[in-house]
Amino acid sequence: MHAKGSGVTLLFGNMTRRIIIHAGFPKCGSSSIQAALFHNFARLQKDGISLFGKELRIAHTSADLGVPLWFLEHAKEKSEPLAQRLSDEIASVGDGNGDRIGILSAENLSRPEMAQLFASLDSRLEVSLVFYLRPQREWIPSAWKQWDLKRGMSLSDFVSRCIRIRRPPFKLGIETWRSALPAAKIHVRFLIPELLIGGSPAADFFDLVGLSRDRYLIEEEPRNPSLDYSILHVLSKNPHLFSSIHDNKLMKGLMRALPAKFQSTNIQMLSREEEARIEESFRDENLWLLNTYCSGIDADRIYRTYFTPQEAEARYSSATDLDLIYRCLGIILESIAASSEATAADDKISGTRKSRRTRECS
């Protein structure tokens, strides 16, 4: 089936009204996928693809774009059914003869309690559910950096908590959606380089839904870069610097101030013992997911390569508090010096231009 006028072949069958729901998970490439969709908004419109915006309405202008995280949260609080709303929105776009295809992307959709809000949607539209996952030994440190270090929780305690409450709930989330929308087509993708078409989640998503990567502009840069492990450690000791786990002002300020070489974790965060505990706890779930949703791959080899404990020359868990504090202090001093040099260079350039203009006017 082709989107009208575009020559774009879509993966998801031969119906007139369709919805592709990218249901997360958090910390699994959602920002990259959403950025690519927004960046290509105008071209997607021309190709007959509509995006749901921040109010869970079809976006008609760039001002309508946004991830409907809070709208979905409010709908969940009120147990508000959403199937009719989504169906009506898709029916409202396109002409009588063209395909009507919508894409909804929001990472909080992966939460099991969200699925029931969409019950019966698969009887109104052709539905495809897309989930992106990453190995838990990668997901847990990433989630700690994003949220729980702002509470003052240590990474070691966060690991124990994730194991205890079965977080991230990959299998539970997917299975809950499958129960709520039994007619939907489910696509599960792991953020593992050799399993991603095009090498990035955004490129893989566009390929998955049948959108030619040659026709769209897809950035290769990561959307959520990290910070040096010593800075993360010091931040975790100062939770008062954050108003909530969603407060990103300080993180964004550090990203602007720090040289690029300090904007990565650059060390293995977990101890080998923690990696082993994670592997054992999620082993059955991961093997089930690989064997159920990743056909045509050597699941055992993929599991051994990406889900089991790995060797590392250095680990955050082995560093002392004093080592981490001194490293963080050194980074701060180097960053201040670099900023001062850049300011002096700018002042020199500005002074040269001012002097030239003065001579020209005299």
CB atoms within 10 A of CB 314: 11
pLDDT at 214: 84
288: phi then psi, degrees, rounded to nearest 5: -65, -45
Say if residues 183 and 264 touch (Cβ distance below 8 Å). Answer: no
- CA distance readout (Å), 281 to 157, 167, 192, 300: 16, 11, 20, 17
Beta-sheet pairing, 100-105 with 126-133 = unpaired
pLDDT at 342: 62
- Distance in angstroms (rounded) separating the CA atoms of residues 3 and 48: 5
| Model confidence pLDDT, tens digit, residues 60-71 | 999 999 999 999
Contacts of 203 (CB under 8 A, 6+ apart): 36, 196, 197, 213, 218
Here the tokens at position 2 are 């082709």
- Distance in angstroms (rounded) separating the CA atoms of residues 67 and 33: 11
| Model confidence pLDDT, tens digit, residues 265-317 | 789 999 999 999 999 999 999 999 999 999 889 999 999 999 999 898 899 99
pLDDT at 81: 97
Say if residues 65 and 41 touch (Cβ distance below 8 Å). Answer: yes
Ranges of each domain in the chain:
17-208, 229-348
Q: Where are the beta strands (DSSP E) in the chain?
A: 17-22, 49-51, 100-105, 126-133, 185-190
Q: Which CATH architecture has domain 17-208?
A: 3-Layer(aba) Sandwich (3.40)
Q: Scanning the structure block, which residue is given the tokens 């101890």?
A: 271
pLDDT at 204: 95
Please identify every stretch of the chain with a pLDDT value under 70, giving residue numbers as ranges: 1-16, 94-98, 221-224, 342-362
pLDDT at 348: 59
Handedness of CA 97, 210, 17, 219 (dihedral sign): negative
Q: What single letter denotes the amino acid at residue 63?
A: A
Whose CA is closest to 188, among 77, 35, 24, 351? 24
